[in-house]
Amino acid sequence: MRFWRRRRREAELEEEVRSHLEMAARQRVEHGADEGEAARAARREFGNMGLVKETTRDAWGWGFFDRLMQDLRFGVRMIAKSPGFAAVAILTLALGIGANIALFSVVNAVLLNPLPYPEPEQLVALHESKPNFETGSIALPNFQDWRKDNRTFSMMAISRGYWFNLTGLGDAEQLRAEFVSTDFLPLLGVKPVLGRMFVEGEDEIGASPIVMISEGLWNRKFGGAPDVLGKAITLDGRSYTIVGVVPASFNLQVGYFRTRELYVPLGQWNNPLLKSRAGGLGLHGIGRLKPGVTIEQGRADMQRVTEDLAAAYPEADKGIGATLLPLREQVVGNVRVLLLVLLAAVAFVLLISCVNVANLLAVRAMARAREFAVRAALGAGQGRIVRQLLTESVLLAVAGGGLGLLLAAWGTKAALQRLPQGLPRASEVGLDGRILVFTAAISLLSGMLFGLAPALRISRPNVHDTLKEGGRGAGGKKHRAQGFLVVAELAMALVLLIGAGLMIRSISALWSVNPGFDSRDILTFGVSLPPSMKGANADGIRAALREVQRKLETTPGVQSVSLSWAAVPLSSDDEDLFWLDGQPRPASENEMNWTLSYVVEEDYLKVMGILLEHGRFFTAQDNERAAHVVVVDDVFARKFFGDQDPIGKRVNLNSKGGMAEIVGVVGHVKQWGLDSDDKQPLRAQLYFPFMQLPDEAMRLSATGTGVLARLDPHVPGTADAIRTALKRMNNDQVMFSVQTMEEIIADSLAARRVSMIVLGVFAVLALGLASMGIYGVISYVVGQRTREIGIRIALGAKRMEVLRMVLREGMKMTVLGVVIGFLAALALTQLMASMLYGVSATDPLTFAGVAAILMIVALVASYVPARRAMRVDPIVALRYE
């Protein structure tokens, strides 16, 4: 309807203007002019008819929308007219925008919104600080006193991961569980889908066994039936009553905490050390500060509490404090640097693709100069032409953005599967409103960005000259702006290349680090004995484990095998306290020496390929009936014995049955990771024979013992064969947590590897785009100067000189780009210093190498059009004009 009205007004305006002209002409005729002359004079007096109509239409007040539609229609037509240009531009933008969306969706989930819980700023992570360890495990009795004595927390909770063996409900399986204190889930604002939370007192030792299950497990095992409440499930052979279902939307990875399938009150943990104030059981906490309390006030309060405890229990608590960290930090942690570096990189890619499209548009605008001159002559104002051009470029950007969104949605999913497991909240990454807004904003912005410069330049045409020249602009100045764009592109590409180069150097340095063992063909997994073994005495369990061990050894494809307890390199750590023989027992545990502790069997060295430096390793005779022996690593030997031979020396192990003799020295293993092991305070390593574990520890190992096995690489499917073999021994005996050692190492490098790959992809993309840019500009310059080159050749210029002249043009831009890129890189690579290994952020070799690559690529990109210039036929060039 509006459209119809508009048609009518348009016609009326047309007629109004015509009648004006006719009347003016008639009057002139009445004054004696001849008709033709009168009409021309009336027209001249009237002025620019198009412009008058245009400004009059403005007065109707519906101009904006109409003109937008008009511009859009026209823009679509113009774009459709040159599909090749449009395809290149849209694809370039889709890559740039898509990469940004993909990364933004990750940043959105991880950095911007890391804690989807009520009042996240009140949440802190809690640890016990020990003399050599800031974020140590909290002893339950200490925690209970913290909870009772603090004045700044509204809630406090601790938890610890655990594996439960579930039986009696289909196949036996190991389930990931978390032991929690009462307030853990309420503290995070979790509301059960069904049933209730744990209430006060239910986490006490000796309370009746209850459990909350995850929504996933509820659906999987109970079909989501509401009558699950009050039912019992059998975990580690004991019956637990289900009291509630935890929603699937509850998803948290922080520190050691993960979302699990089962939540069990901490008091159910059958571990005698739980009651010990000195126990290091891997319990870590979270707390919610009271409203308005700052973390500093919380720290001061906890200092008071822990000092009081140290005074009351000097034996266990001397030197023990509390560490409070904002939970947000804990969640986001190290990935922040990674994501910020990637974000900077991806922004560069977008800028480069914008610059490229701007260049395409500029070249196209030159070709369209005549069109714009004509439009200006017909009464289009400058603003109108700029708007038309901007509409076109925004149209391109929106198309690119839409395509980019599709690419991103697909690409993010693909990329996340390769991301480090430790990336917090990775599962939350997805498209949401914020990302759509981001896409729209970034598309419009880039449309403006790459469209504005050419639009402004072209919209002030010298109508007269352009029309006369037939639209062939005269070289010179016009390509300078494009030259600057290309310089900027080259500089940005250089920065990205340097970033990627530094990452590649870091990773290769890391891969060549010797971890101290041979990581190939090692399988790690856990075995839990059937729940019926739970009540057995230590000897019974030793016998059962020996049988498991024998079974594993005879499984085809297994070369050697060792049970393992405590630490596993790069995967989990465990510590022991000791003092040297001949010294008095230290007054408190905190004055004892610390060592990493590995509890393994005689074949461990064979499995791991660790070097025996001196003395001997364990044998089958180092069993529960023999005298206790230990093996230490060279770091331990040097630290505690200096130049003396440690063999034959004895150490007092605080929690492993006292005095043991050192019988061998082995090579150091990079427990803490390939990169940071050297910088860790705790590096001494001690090996203890598995079968000599004290009885209470041996009983605990029934519910889950680690196994390391060296497999024959030529026998496929050994992991499945092991699983079958274990199951055949007993249906309720489960293999779990299967991982190869190479996977463990790869995981430890995952963040770096991902950033290397992403930076590398971005850098190659940037290099490609930049070389396209330089190719385009040189081609354009050559095209513009065809005639000049023709004259030069006709006047006797050597073709090689022409080639050199054009190449010089390209090299000038490249060198400038490299210089600017160097300066930018010097500043920007500092950002990623913490991600580098074995290479400085200003590594000269990387800088020089990357600059060389860029120069060569730029040279090739300008060589192609330069050859064309060299082959210019002077006759053709001159006749053409």
CB of 492 to another protein, least distance (A): 46
Binding residues vs another protein (CB under 8 A):
12-13, 15-17, 19-20, 22-24, 26-27, 46-48, 51-53, 55-56, 58-61
Instruction: Take residue 414 and report the two structure tokens written for it.
Output: 């693909």
Q: Which CB, 27 or 830, lies closer to another protein?
A: 27
DSSP of 440-501: HHHHHHHHHHHHHHHHHHHTS--HHHHHHHTT---STTHHHHHHHHHHHHHHHHHHHHHHHH
Interior angle at CA 769, CA 365 and CA 509, nearest 5: 165
Q: Phi/psi of residue 78, each to 5°?
A: -65, -40
- 517 and 668 Cβ atoms separated by less than 8 Å: no
Q: How many C-alpha atoms does 533 have within 13 Å on its Cβ side?
A: 26
The C-alpha torsion from 545 through 548 and 550 to 554, rounded to 10°, is: -170
CB of 63 to another protein, least distance (A): 11
- What sign does the CA torsion over 562, 566, 571, 575 have? negative
CB of 386 to another protein, least distance (A): 20
CB of 4 to another protein, least distance (A): 18
Q: Which CB, 55 or 619, lies closer to another protein?
A: 55
Identity of the amino acid at 602: E
Q: Which CB, 20 or 318, lies closer to another protein?
A: 20
Q: Which CB, 54 or 574, lies closer to another protein?
A: 54
> Is residue 529 classed as helix, strand or coil in its secondary structure?
coil
Whose structure tokens read 């209970």? 144
CB of 356 to another protein, least distance (A): 41
CB of 830 to another protein, least distance (A): 56
CB of 768 to another protein, least distance (A): 50
CB of 23 to another protein, least distance (A): 4
Query: What is the CB neighbour count within 10 angstroms for residue 73?
Result: 11
- 299 and 125 Cβ atoms separated by less than 8 Å: no
Buried b (16+ CB within 10 A) or exposed e, 723-738: bebbeebbebbbbbee
For residue 756, give every residue at least 6 positions away whose Cβ sits within 8 Å of its Cβ, in sequence order, or none: 500, 503, 504, 506, 507
Spatial separation of the C-alpha atoms in residues 253 and 424, rounded to whole Å: 6
Q: Which CB, 53 or 231, lies closer to another protein?
A: 53
Q: Which CB, 10 or 121, lies closer to another protein?
A: 10
Query: What is the CB neighbour count within 10 angstroms for residue 845?
Result: 11
β-bridge pairing 153-167 and 257-258? unpaired
For residue 392, give every residue at least 6 positions away whose Cβ sits within 8 Å of its Cβ, in sequence order, or none: 71, 75, 78, 79, 451
CB of 787 to another protein, least distance (A): 42
CB of 464 to another protein, least distance (A): 21
Q: How many C-alpha atoms does 21 have within 13 Å on its Cβ side?
A: 20
Q: Which CB, 53 or 616, lies closer to another protein?
A: 53
Q: Which CB, 52 or 481, lies closer to another protein?
A: 52
Q: Which CB, 55 or 514, lies closer to another protein?
A: 55
In the chain, how long is the greatest CA-to-CA distance?
136
CB of 55 to another protein, least distance (A): 5
Identity of the amino acid at 110: V
Q: 254 has which bridge partners? A: 257
CB of 26 to another protein, least distance (A): 6
Kindly tell me the burial class for residue 504, based on how many C-beta atoms sit within 10 Å of its own C-beta (0-12, 13-18, 19 or more): middle
Q: Which CB, 52 or 757, lies closer to another protein?
A: 52
Q: Which CB, 48 or 739, lies closer to another protein?
A: 48
Q: Which CB, 47 or 556, lies closer to another protein?
A: 47
Instruction: Take residue 472 and report the two structure tokens written for it.
Output: 């062939």
CB of 459 to another protein, least distance (A): 20
Spatial separation of the C-alpha atoms in residues 486 and 858, rounded to whole Å: 11
Q: Which CB, 20 or 384, lies closer to another protein?
A: 20
Altogether, the residues listed in the chain come to a count of 881
- 454 and 362 Cβ atoms separated by less than 8 Å: yes
The residue among 366, 378, 320 whose CA lies nearest residue 141 is: 320
Q: Which CB, 43 or 413, lies closer to another protein?
A: 43
CB of 431 to another protein, least distance (A): 45
